[in-house]
Amino acid sequence: MAILVTGADGLVGSALQRELGEGHVYHTKREVDLLDKKKTLDYIDYHVRHNNVDTIINCAAKVGGVQANMKNNREFFLQNFVLNNNVIEASFRSDLPNFINLLSTCIFPDEQYVTYPLTADQINQGPPHESNHGYAYAKRLAGYETSIINSVLRKNWVSVIPTNVYGTHDNFNLEEGHMVPAMIYRAFLAKQSGERMLIWGDGSPLRQIIYSDDLAKLILWSIENWKGNQPFMAINPHEHSILRIASEICNSFDIKSDDLVFDSTKPRGQQRKPAVTNAPDDFAFTLLEDGIEQTIKWFMENYPNIRN
């Protein structure tokens, strides 16, 4: 039997390709636009019938950093809602035994409504942070739909909630990319120009970040091993300050601490939002410095042919 990965040329999808290898189906937008319902239904039906697909891992999404979400909350909601609903309905019609739905910790309520560390049973305790409520609500709805269908089919339909993901094949856009890839690109440009390295906010917020290859391994582990009724929390439990993350990136470009400048006019997001992990106790997470080193190595090898 085979696995179909949607969004297979993206950050998480490409990591799953590296883990799975040949013999599976890797969807990209060039093959079919998942916003088109009929094409999505036909595409998934074809691969279920002709390529023995019994599992779908839904990684396709419209994603972006804090600033991109704040500017385009309606667009982030509509595109993700339509895309997720099309993939889920197609998978339901095909009676798939395994469906993995990729969510995000941004679906959790704003900090005033929760206690830390975040646990899956707190998702419904309040609205998400206003900076990305469009994307967060679309992802919440996909999680609810996955859970409802799981209760109907009585099959292995699971939502996976990772924390901030980084790695190769990311979107390095300076304004709309996530924190780590945008920082890498800014450091690269700062080194080239001899200018100082800009960091959004004051560097103090804490984040749990997970290397994309680690997330791919945990997703595949969850297919066979996660039996809980709640979503699977694919979290690297270690917290790092944004300043620490920036410093690791700057070290790779030989940028000194005196060359860092903080921009308090830029959005900083929540101060911290630690979450529990459901990863097995013996899972070996990639160290921050190793993951950043590998990501920068890929960036340098592929520049300027990167997403930005």
Task: Name the band, by pLDDT with cuts 50, 70 and 90, for residue 272.
Answer: confident
pLDDT in tens, 98-151: 999 999 998 999 888 999 999 999 999 999 887 778 889 999 999 999 999 998
pLDDT of residue 91: 97
Stretch 70-93: mean pLDDT = 90
pLDDT of residue 129: 82
pLDDT of residue 198: 83
Answer yes or no: is pLDDT of 66 > 80: no
* DSSP SS3 for 6: strand
Answer yes or no: is pLDDT of 63 > 80: no
Answer yes or no: is pLDDT of 67 > 80: no
Comparison of pLDDT for 260 and 145, the residue scoring more: 145
11: CB partners within 8 A, 6+ apart: 165, 166, 167, 168, 169, 170, 171, 212
Answer yes or no: is pLDDT of 183 > 60: yes
Domains of the chain from N-terminus onward: 2-302 (3.40.50.720)
pLDDT in tens, 16-62: 999 999 999 999 999 999 999 999 999 999 999 999 999 999 999 87
What percentage of the chain reaches a pLDDT higher than 90? Answer: 73
pLDDT of residue 110: 85
What are the residue numbers of the active site? 135
**Cα-flanking dihedrals φ and ψ of residue 280, to 5°?**
-60, 150
Rounded to 5°, angle at Cα 106 from 263 and 12? 95
DSSP secondary structure letter of residue 110 = P
Stretch 213-220: mean pLDDT = 98
Stretch 66-76: mean pLDDT = 69
Bridge partners (DSSP) listed for residue 128? 109
pLDDT in tens, 276-305: 999 999 999 999 999 999 999 999 999 998
End-to-end CA distance of the chain: 36
Q: For residues 186 and 158, what is the distance between their CA atoms, to the nearest angstrom?
A: 37
